[in-house]
Amino acid sequence: MGAIYIMWLRELKRYVRSKAQILVSLGQPALYLVALGYGFGPVFAKAGMGKYLQFIAPGVVGMTVLFSSVFSGMAMLWDRQFGFLRETLVAPVPRIHIMLGRTLGGATVAVIQGVLILVVCLIAGFRPEHWIAVPVSFIFVAMIAIVFAALGASIGSVIQDMQGFQFLMNFLVMPIFFLSGALYPLKNLPVVLEWITHGDPLSYGVDGLRGVLVGSWQFSFATDLAVLMGLAAVLLGVSARLFSRIQL
């Protein structure tokens, strides 16, 4: 358990020391929030859907957590390149503890960024249906972070090339984001697109956030939580398996 804590703390310190990373990580979500939230607001209102800012804010939080958690796997490539991963793997501790510590560290960083962008949303004018819903929403923020941090760790355990990792992540992350319902409702979609969006893990995270914060559900609290917990268990198992097979 000590190895898990040490790796978790290392990932957290790496983030806290990088002030530039904190600022940059908020730039893109804030741009989506302001440009789209206010830009498409009149159109959304004319369609009888209410304020678009209220709709998009949970999606922007989900996007922030997605990008931060899944790209945490890139740190594994840096550690491999500079030799830190070799030093870690030869330590007399189970590799699964190392993997869990790294994954939970990346997920914790993603949760912090999600909380920060939620604060930005509140400053921009977003208001939850009930303020008690804000701490409850952290359940879905944490689940999104764990699911995609485990995905990033899995891919980082297999790919050794930095450019290949970035290409594959962009290939996966952008469709996951745009098909999650973060920017548009998932109702009344064509049948094929509806099935695709239902197979997108982020759809359940965004729906959980939106449901808890503004009371608009596509699925249900139980469904969203069950799907995310199941995916987290599967992906943590996969990442543990792949990490244990890394060759020094």
pTM: 0.90
Q: What count of residues does the chain have?
A: 248
**Domain count along the chain:** 1
Domain that residue 162 falls in: 2-244
Cα 182 to its chain centre, rounded Å, is 12
Which tokens hold the place of 28?
Answer: 């893109």
Find the angle CA(50)-CA(204)-CA(105) to the nearest 5 degrees: 115
pLDDT digits (tens, 9 = 90+) for 141-173: 999 999 999 998 888 888 777 777 777 777 888
pLDDT digits (tens, 9 = 90+) for 81-126: 766 667 676 666 777 887 888 888 888 888 989 998 999 899 888 9
- Residue pair 197/186 in contact (Cβ under 8 Å)? The answer is yes
Helix 162-178 × helix 52-70 angle, to 10°: 160
